Amino acid sequence: MDTFTEALDAAGAEYTRPDGAFYVMARFDDYPGTMANVKRLIDEAGVAGMPGEGFGEAYSDWLRFALVTPASRRPPTAWPRSSPNGALAHSAAVSRSADIRPVVGVS
């Protein structure tokens, strides 16, 4: 979290600091939260976000970022696949490995 917010500070962004969540809403001067700017951010900086406009007109100038750990750096699942909860762990692993794209306007 601190590394990300320090980068936002360095970029001069205004942002929310989550209390217990892992989402950060950020606003940059002259860089509205549109899908075009999200794609540009991915292409130019390798950072993915969601357009703020998908969260209502009040957030049209904002971008939403989810602070997550890459699967390669996560500890193995706590549930063995043979346990009753193993199916849930397997579903989560499949979801993470699938080509899932966010839907604008759905949170």
The answer to whether residues 25 and 63 touch, using CB atoms and an 8 Å cutoff, is yes
pLDDT, averaged per 10 consecutive residues of the chain (107 residues), comes to 88 87 89 91 90 88 87 66 47 42 41
Supply the DSSP string of 43-94, one letter for each residue.
HHH----EEGGGG-GGGTTEEEEE----GGGSPPPSS-TTSTTHHHHHHHHH
Task: For residue 28, give the DSSP letter.
Answer: B
Determine, yes or no, domain membership for 62. Answer: yes
- The answer to whether residues 85 and 60 belong to one domain is no
Per the confidence metrics, is the pTM higher than 0.75? Answer: no
- The answer to whether residues 26 and 56 belong to one domain is yes
Q: What is the pLDDT of residue 54?
A: 84
- The answer to whether residues 58 and 77 belong to one domain is no
- The answer to whether residues 47 and 89 belong to one domain is no
- The answer to whether residues 40 and 8 belong to one domain is yes
Round to whole Å and give the CA distance between 75 and 59. Answer: 34
What's the number of domains the chain is made of?
Answer: 2
